[in-house]
Amino acid sequence: MIDLGLGKNRLGGSALAQALSQLGDESPDIDPDLLKRAFRAVQQMISEEVILALHDRSDGGLLVAVSEMCMASNCGFLIHVNSHEATLAELFSEECGWVIEFDAEKRDKIEEICSKHNIKFDWIGCTLSDEKCIIEAPGFNVLFKDFIYNIRHFWEATSLELEKQQTTPDCVESEDQAVPKWPIGPKNTWGYYKTFEPEKTSDEVVRSTDKPKMAVIRDEGTNGDAEMRAAFFEAGFEVFDFAMTDLLSGRVTLDELQMITFAGGFSRMDVFESAKGWAGIIRENEKLSSMFDRFYNRQDTLSLGVCNGCQLMALLGWIPEKGLAREIQPRFIRNFSEKFESRWTQVEVLPSPSVLLAGMEGSKLGVWVAHGEGRVFFPDESIAKNVREQNLSPLAYVDPYGNVTERYPWNPNGSSDGVTALCTPDGRHLAMMPHPERCFRLSTWSWMPASWQKLEASPWLRMFQNARVWCAEHKQ
């Protein structure tokens, strides 16, 4: 711990005091010069890569900070306190200070940096590879012992009560029960697995003057277009930005493009339910409907719909195949949790004819989701059977052990068989609820196995590169 409270442990105004219906008589204060020196010390630790994690103790105290750090990896901890008498103050005072985690062999370097900046540094304990949480006083007297999943249960208790007011109760219970079943220890891979080695797009491809042309199409309320354009640009496309008003006015057409992507977001504020307003603009305008049909039917084109764009492609009747009657067209409906879900979750790339996911089959990857209506619904069971038989569902939610799941929260919307994407039999058109464009760079991943942090590129970049390679090979 880097103590910026000068050895004091004042409890006035703390969460502990409030929990005991007290106010306290002395609150923490801070020395600005000490804070400045400590900040510089931490920046040096980061730049020299000797620090693994950091958390402040000013929102709940030392015990809360350490507990929250270990919840992130579902591992345990051992903390040493200085005395029996001052245990509560030491564990729950909200003086300014930081808990840092580092590899044992880096301790001398940490102490050297703190000494250089005249910062007090105390070794207070260690991370454990199992789920036990222990607090010891001098003489190795155990003052507290429990498991991280129990601590997390206490920590989340208030939030769970609030969740019951806005979420399907079964989902709240499922998430609460799921915590003890998460893999234990900082070295686990949480079911992550890749079947290929991600590579950056070569400079030659990025700088080429003869790139396939694609456009990200957006409507009022879409918000995923910027990162989508960035992903396709980094994969080697010549990228255009088309608003629906551009198409309506005739300023642009789809005729010279090889690929289009319908961006995610909340088109028309989802007033008519997700993407229905957007779909109506296209379906009910003869000029637009004809333009999109021509693009779809050309054999040198690809399309991708993500989130709101996925819902749009379903409403347009583009997936899993064109020509289905509207009353039996698969669509994406309200999440079983009855609320908007924004989470980092995991999916498996399943065998399918999808062009964009070629060579990625068998990989189990983390990905962002952000939707309120992502549960796939088949009004006609024969269509669902056809999807299964032809492998037209290329992505499925998996649990931390890598198993396809319908369980909340790992499956955030309740889709049967974990289904979260549909493609056409020829593989040219793909609709998916997760957001690969939000993690086509490793820096935007919420979590990954330690061994993946040195990858050359994000595994999701492969999806956009696949599109570029296919377009280049099928250019007419």
Point out the residues that are catalytic. 307, 435, 437
β partners of residue 215: 240, 260
What amino acid is encoded at 195 in this protein? T
CA distance 361 to 458: 16
- Helices and strands (DSSP H and E) totals, the chain: 15, 18
Which residues make Cβ contacts (< 8 Å) with residue 43, sequence separation at least 6? none
Which residues make Cβ contacts (< 8 Å) with residue 111, sequence separation at least 6? 121
Q: What are phi and psi of 233, to 5 degrees?
A: -65, -45
CA distance 324 to 331: 12
DSSP state of 419: B
Could you tell me the strand order of the sheet in which 132-137 lies? Answer: 125-128, 76-80, 132-137, 141-147
Q: What are phi and psi of 177, to 5 degrees?
A: -75, -20
Which residues make Cβ contacts (< 8 Å) with residue 114, sequence separation at least 6? 2, 41, 120, 121
End-to-end distance of the chain based on CA atoms, in angstroms? 64
Place of tokens 């010390």: 41
The encoded tokens of residue 244 equal: 């629906």
CA distance 61 to 69: 12
CA distance 211 to 231: 14
The DSSP annotation for 269-324 comes to: GGTTSTTHHHHHHHHT-HHHHHHHHHHHH-TT-EEEEETHHHHHHHHHT-SS-TT-
